[in-house]
């Protein structure tokens, strides 16, 4: 069973979302995005030459990294009231159908390219009020990310890119009609990345970015410690939080969710 999912308000007819205006606070945050992108470009332009990764391309990959996320949020289907839901990592692991993650980086001199993919497919059952009624809940979530970075100071980068979300929640009832909303959107984001050396083999890795576009607002933060095993590999452990708020008048889905939890990975270099 998924940890908590209020389905009572979803057992009636589903109507299309009424168009809802974004509140003033979200609108102010969205206006910061182009400003942050401009800062990214302007701060990179006058920077003087500093030590980078050299003229040769360098690559690293973290295949099937672990993000032990807890999911907590609010979902609204149609014009009905919103419903809170939460999925702890232990419950998500028990209900896991498919998962795939990979992180890739390439760098040359002061320039870097970053790519990340994360796919999650959860399935669980939950009782529903009503004689002989039950619900099977399936949530598929895909996140694809591509970004470029420029080193503006020692161990400090500015980054900007695009992040694609695809959300497909399905609620299947035994008697009532199924509910199968889905949505996909793309956000632009910009941020900073800081990787100071803590010792001969130890490195701190910190990142923050914020964006909007298809969603009302999304922000992402990561802090981790990297231990270099040798010239070819390292272990990586830390904590990541992502928060996004999506609503659209063209779909029946409004989604406000926070995903957070420990991350761990092996990274390979060449």
Q: Shortest CA distance to 39 belongs to which of 161, 159, 207?
A: 159
Residue-wise pLDDT tens digits, 37-57: 444 444 343 333 334 556 899
pLDDT score, position 80 = 61
Kindly indicate the confidence band of residue 14, based on its pLDDT and cuts at 50, 70 and 90.
Answer: very low
- Over 80: is that where the pLDDT of 195 sits? yes
pLDDT at 3 over 60: no
Residue 96 pLDDT: 67
- For residue 168, give both structure tokens: 């497909």
CA within 13 Å, CB half, 48: 0
What DSSP assignment string belongs to 65-78? -EE--EEEEEEEET
Domain count, the chain: 1
Q: Is 113 helix (H, G, I), strand (E, B) or coil?
A: strand
CA distance 51 to 48: 10
Rounded CA-CA distance 68/88 in Å is 9
pLDDT at 211: 96
3-state helix, strand, coil in the chain (%, to 5): 10, 60, 30
pLDDT tens string 199-209: 999 999 999 99
Q: State the CB neighbour count (10 A cutoff) for residue 66.
A: 17
Residues in the chain: 270
pLDDT tens for 96-148 read 667 889 999 999 999 999 999 999 887 766 666 666 666 777 778 899 999 99
Structure tokens at 140: 């598929």
Please tell me the predicted confidence (pLDDT) of residue 125: 66
Unique residue bearing structure tokens 């409004």:
254
The share of the chain scoring above pLDDT 90, in percent, equals 44
- Answer whether residue 28 shows pLDDT above 80: no
What band does 247 get if pLDDT is binned at 50, 70 and 90?
Answer: confident
Q: Can you give the CATH number for the domain in which 150 is found?
A: 2.40.128
Alpha helices in the chain (DSSP H): 24-44, 89-94
Q: How confident is the model at residue 92 (pLDDT cuts 50, 70, 90)?
A: low
Radius of gyration of the chain (CA): 21
Stretch 254-268: mean pLDDT: 90
What's the whole-model pTM score? Answer: 0.74
**Residue among 155, 144, 152, 80 nearest 114 (CA):** 144
Res 19: pLDDT: 37
How many Å from the N-terminal Cα to the C-terminal Cα in the chain?
43
Check the CA dihedral 190-76-14-180 and report its sign.
positive
Mean predicted lDDT score pLDDT of the chain: 78
Q: What is the mean pLDDT of residues 155-180?
A: 84
Question: Which pLDDT score is estimated for 148?
Answer: 98
Domain that holds residue 168: 4-12+20-49+58-269
More confident residue, 248 or 165: 165
């Amino acid at each position: 069973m998924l940890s908590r999912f209020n389905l009572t308000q979803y057992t009636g007819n589903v109507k299309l979302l009424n168009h809802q205006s974004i509140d003033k606070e979200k609108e102010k945050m969205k206006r910061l995005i182009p400003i942050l992108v401009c800062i990214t470009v302007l701060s990179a332009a006058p920077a003087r030459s500093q030590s980078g990764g050299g003229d040769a391309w360098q690559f690293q990959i973290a295949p099937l990294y672990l993000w032990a996320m807890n999911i907590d949020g609010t979902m609204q289907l149609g014009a009905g009231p919103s419903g809170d839901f939460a999925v702890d990592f232990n419950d998500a692991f028990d209900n896991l159908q498919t998962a795939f993650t990979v992180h890739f980086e390439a760098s040359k001199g002061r320039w870097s390219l970053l790519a990340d993919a994360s796919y999650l497919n959860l399935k669980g059952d939950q009782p529903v009020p009503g004689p002989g009624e039950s619900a099977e809940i399936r949530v598929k979530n895909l996140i694809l990310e591509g970004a470029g970075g420029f080193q503006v100071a020692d161990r400090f980068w500015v980054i900007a890119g695009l992040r694609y979300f695809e959300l497909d929640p399905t609620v299947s009832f035994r008697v009532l009609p199924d509910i199968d909303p889905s949505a996909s959107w793309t956000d632009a984001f910009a941020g900073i990345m800081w990787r100071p050396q803590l010792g001969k083999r130890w490195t701190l890795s910190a990142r923050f970015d914020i964006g909007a576009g298809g969603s009302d607002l999304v922000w992402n933060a990561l802090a981790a410690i990297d231990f270099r095993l040798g010239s070819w590999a390292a272990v990586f452990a830390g904590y990541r939080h992502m928060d996004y708020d999506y609503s659209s008048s063209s779909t029946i889905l409004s989604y406000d969710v926070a995903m957070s939890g420990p991350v761990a990975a092996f990274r390979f270099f060449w």
